Structure 1
Amino acid sequence: MKIGKIPNSVLKEIVLDKIKGSRKEVLLRPKVGEDCCAVDFENKVCVLSSDPITGAENEIGRLAVHISCNDVASCGAEPLGLIVTILVPPTATQKDLELVMSQISETANSLNVDIIGGHTEVTGAVNRFVIITTAVGYVLKDKLVSTSGAMVGDDIILTKFAGIEGTAIIAHDKESELKDKIEKDVLEKAKSLVKDISVVKEGIIAGRFGVNSMHDVTEGGVLGAVWEVAEASEKGAVIYADKIPVLKETLKICNIYNIDPFRLISSGCMIITCKNGKDLVKELEENGIKATVIGQITEGNEKRLVLKDGYIDINEPLSDELYKVVN
């Protein structure tokens, strides 16, 4: 099997179809495109999400906090706690572990999230740090948002820029290669993007605004996230390539490694769908968050990316572009 997330078709057949649930308290269950579960606690809903970090070496502690907190925020919930499991390779030093833990603690504090438990061990089962985080949050029941709630006619909004996380990971992990290929200020800006991969703020704002669906953009990039929203919602989608914002730093790095920024892991940006996209864009930008309407949810099940000279079908995401560069 290829490195990266299991293809959604395989995930459904081998993993998801074997999961049976009967508890009425569970409001959101495992499904293609749904990254969180939600449990009914009367007028509030407890939202949880768990994720590993496996595709990065540098800044792994910061990334580990953001990815699961981002998932919880995509339900409109505020993350409040984090359970952290750290698997340490035998080649690591205590100083290495201290650095990773400092990153985790600083990032959690910046989000006002408490570390509430976890596990740490050294194991020969890994050859580099692997961190699994489970975020816990809550939201009022009538404000819960799912990936599968997109409606025909919704605007599709993208926050920030495509490829943020992938750009930061490549800039850090391939810095020695890139020093002679791109300008120093471009490389430094690309590395600094690791500070911009939280979507907690926009998730909470959009949840309060009232939207139909949200999904943070992770492996598979913007195209993968749009496919997952449409697939989970049993709808179609059309998005426009010339409306998808991409930073020059991302474009330069993608050109060097011949990878597609639209299919590059993109924590830091979120796909949101709602009826009044321009109003939400205005609300987000008034709160300092760049946002762009990039397309619409449509009837049927066709998912298309419109180009200047035609269109291409958006298919289920395969291995992320990141793994062509780092593994």
Structure 2
Amino acid sequence: MDASIPQDANRIDSVLEKIERSRQARRHKFYLRDEKITLSHGSGGKATHNLIEGVFAPAFSNPLLDAMDDAATFEINGTGQRLAFTTDTYVVSPLFFPGGDIGKLAIHGTVNDLAMAGAEPLYLSSGFILEEGFPITDLRRIVASMAAAAAEAGVAIVTGDTKVVQRGKADGLFINTAGVGIIRANWLLGQAQLQPGDKVLLSGPVGDHGIAIMMAREGLDIETDVQSDTAPLHSLVAALFAVAGSGVHCLKDPTRGGVATALNEMALGSEVSVALEERAIPVRPGVRGACEILGLDPLTIANEGKLLA
């Protein structure tokens, strides 16, 4: 090794070479078209998938990450006790919307990612990026909402961080939450566990959250009482386990990108195809009407309180 080259620089070059090799090997499946990030990379669809596979997955590759489930699951040093760990970042406009707010969403989203791993949520972290000039009264409301949502879910926020950026450098407030939960079930869950012949279960009507956000953000004058469905799902998961047990092979909450993206991810992770009966998928009249007016497919609209099994 050339002593004049810092060791860290060599490590970085090695990772960049690894990313390029992976990109070349995968380019028939995952094509990262853009040289710059676009909004579509955050949509949860194909562009997001290509970004993950083209940049993050090869750089950070390890068996836990490669499973590409909602949470990493692992055993603690041969004790037999398994934990789940997950993180998510929340950027939503408006910050307050029918049925919830960004704080409530940040708690429910991470609790639900743990629940999708079959875990009982225990502890969360919270990180805040605040824009200069953000109203303290709004911050208090959001923090109070987070505290109430955490109490409802039976989790504790045990650590956190706060950063403030210059005016105009953030859209008011961004929140990151990470969570840890304990897995009590003794069977494996995950996309790779899906098998031919499995049935797909959906816990309720789709598209409520995404339509509620869109109508609030754009000020759409459509007569509807649609509200976000944001809710913790761990109790529903526990009830499902009590009935179906090891017959449950995979759990997924169809958030960003909706049911369509969630099922595509499940199919990719297991190399099985999924066939749906569209008429069997419940959609509230208000959501269906808004989607027809806006030219949207309810199956691609985000949910925050539904699960697929």
The bucket for the TM-score relative to the shorter chain is 0.7 to 0.9
| Percent of paired sites with the same residue | 22
Distance 1:9 1:48, change over 3 A: same
Structure 1: gaps of 5 or more residues? 22-27, 273-327
Preserved contact between residue 115 and residue 237 of structure 2 (Cα < 8 Å): yes
Kindly indicate whether residue 109 of structure 2 is the aligned counterpart of residue 72 of structure 1.
no
Q: Which has the higher strand share?
A: 1
Q: Distance in 2 between matches of 1:177 and 1:249?
A: 13
**Which residue is equivalent to 2:58?**
17
**Which residue is equivalent to 1:201?**
235
Letter in 1 for 2:72: C
Letter in 2 for 1:136: V
Preserved contact between residue 130 and residue 174 of structure 2 (Cα < 8 Å): yes
Q: 1:107 aligns with which of 135, 149, 154?
A: 149
Higher RCO structure (Cα 8 Å, ≥6 apart): 1
Preserved contact between residue 45 and residue 144 of structure 1 (Cα < 8 Å): no
Kindly indicate whether residue 45 of structure 2 is the aligned counterpart of residue 2 of structure 1.
no
| Runs of 4+ more than 6 Å apart | none
**Which residue is equivalent to 1:61?**
103
DSSP-derived class of the 1:101 partner = helix
Preserved contact between residue 47 and residue 136 of structure 1 (Cα < 8 Å): yes
Q: Please report the TM-score for the alignment, with normalisation by the length of structure 2.
A: 0.77
Count of aligned residue pairs for this structure pair: 256
Preserved contact between residue 67 and residue 192 of structure 2 (Cα < 8 Å): no
Q: How far 1:144 moved relative to its partner?
A: 4.2
Pairwise mapping of residues 168-207 of structure 1 onto structure 2 (< 5 A)? 168-174=212-218, 176-178=219-221, 181-182=222-223, 186-187=224-225, 190-191=226-227, 193-194=228-229, 196-207=230-241
Q: 1:39 aligns with which of 55, 74, 78?
A: 74
Q: Which deviates more, 139-148 or 152-161?
A: 139-148
DSSP-derived class of the 1:127 partner = coil
Letter in 2 for 1:222: V
Preserved contact between residue 127 and residue 161 of structure 2 (Cα < 8 Å): yes
Q: Which deviates more, 38-47 or 2-11?
A: 2-11
Letter in 2 for 1:116: V
Q: Distance in 1 between matches of 2:159 and 2:215?
A: 31
Q: Distance in 2 between matches of 1:119 and 1:10?
A: 27
Over aligned residues, Cα RMSD in angstroms? Answer: 1.9
The higher radius of gyration belongs to 2
Preserved contact between residue 36 and residue 72 of structure 1 (Cα < 8 Å): yes
Letter in 1 for 2:74: V
Structure 2: gaps of 5 or more residues? 1-36
Q: Distance in 2 between matches of 1:245 and 1:32?
A: 30
DSSP-derived class of the 1:254 partner = helix
Letter in 2 for 1:213: C
Preserved contact between residue 118 and residue 185 of structure 2 (Cα < 8 Å): no
DSSP-derived class of the 2:213 partner = helix
Q: Please report the TM-score for the alignment, with normalisation by the length of structure 1.
A: 0.73
Q: Distance in 1 between matches of 2:265 and 2:306?
A: 15
Pairwise mapping of residues 1-327 of structure 1 onto structure 2 (< 5 A)? 1-3=37-39, 4=42, 5=44, 6-21=47-62, 29-31=64-66, 33-41=68-76, 42-56=79-93, 57-58=95-96, 59-124=101-166, 125-140=169-184, 142-174=186-218, 176-178=219-221, 181-182=222-223, 186-187=224-225, 190-191=226-227, 193-194=228-229, 196-208=230-242, 209-210=245-246, 211-272=248-309
Distance 1:32 1:123, change over 3 A: farther
DSSP-derived class of the 2:202 partner = strand
